[in-house]
A and B are shown apart, each in its own frame.
Chain A
């Protein structure tokens, strides 16, 4: 709970333009939670970025983009890399490499459709991009 309070305060300071205090609060939250929570990681990176701490923002942007896509984060990272005179192509290759490394084979399954009880297998859709959604009715 303490960490989420720190995160909220940091985000409010950030929105008010007090980036240095925001970064300090956010670091406290980060010290408790550690990396791995997408929302917290995103806040940390955006706050570092706004505070001009590019070298600290960059690896967090990289980590996030290794397992998710975000036009905002991608754009920010591209700006930091360009400003620092770095190579966009190298960064892009690194993200693609990490994504390929983190990708795992989807296990195949066969299930009936709700509409007709016709059987559908995941492998029937090989060659297409698939958004596989798991849910339950509330």
Chain B
């Protein structure tokens, strides 16, 4: 489950440069609230009250995690979550944070 990892990442990096938005896709607020409280998540959790996200984002399943750059472009897209994926998310966040605004150039390879 990715929630504990998301909370860790958010606690370390959340702020003016980075945010996590978490969308509950089945519009079950009571269940969602319980779950979010259990994981002490402090990032914004949104409710897909019209159940429109699946078609809007072409989701093939959940969890899906999208990494969006400062210009609003989806650069990385991941279906499913396996232990260790949190390291990949962090590396991707670093890549996007290092990318100068308005440029396609990324972080250094070496």
Contact = CB atoms under 8 A, between A and B. Distances in A.
Secondary structure of the A side of the interface?
mixed
A127 to B, nearest CB: 5
A133 B109 contact: no
A120 B48 CA distance: 11
B2 interface: yes
What is the size category of the interface that chain B forms with chain A? 35 or more
Given A74-B109, A129-B96, A111 B48 contact: yes
Contacts of B70: 126-129
What is the size category of the interface that chain A forms with chain B? 35 or more
A130 to B, nearest CB: 4
Interface in A69-115: 69-71, 74, 77-78, 88-89, 91-93, 95-97, 99-100, 102-107, 109, 111-115
A95 B109 contact: yes
Contacts, number: 176
Given A88-B109, A133-B2, A106 B53 contact: no
A60 to B, nearest CB: 16
Contact of A114 (B9, B24, B65, B76): B24
22 contacts: A69-B88, A92-B109, A93-B105, A96-B106, A104-B74, A105-B74, A111-B23, A111-B46, A114-B24, A114-B45, A125-B21, A128-B17, A130-B19, A131-B89, A132-B66, A133-B22, A133-B64, A134-B22, A134-B57, A135-B23, A137-B28, A137-B32
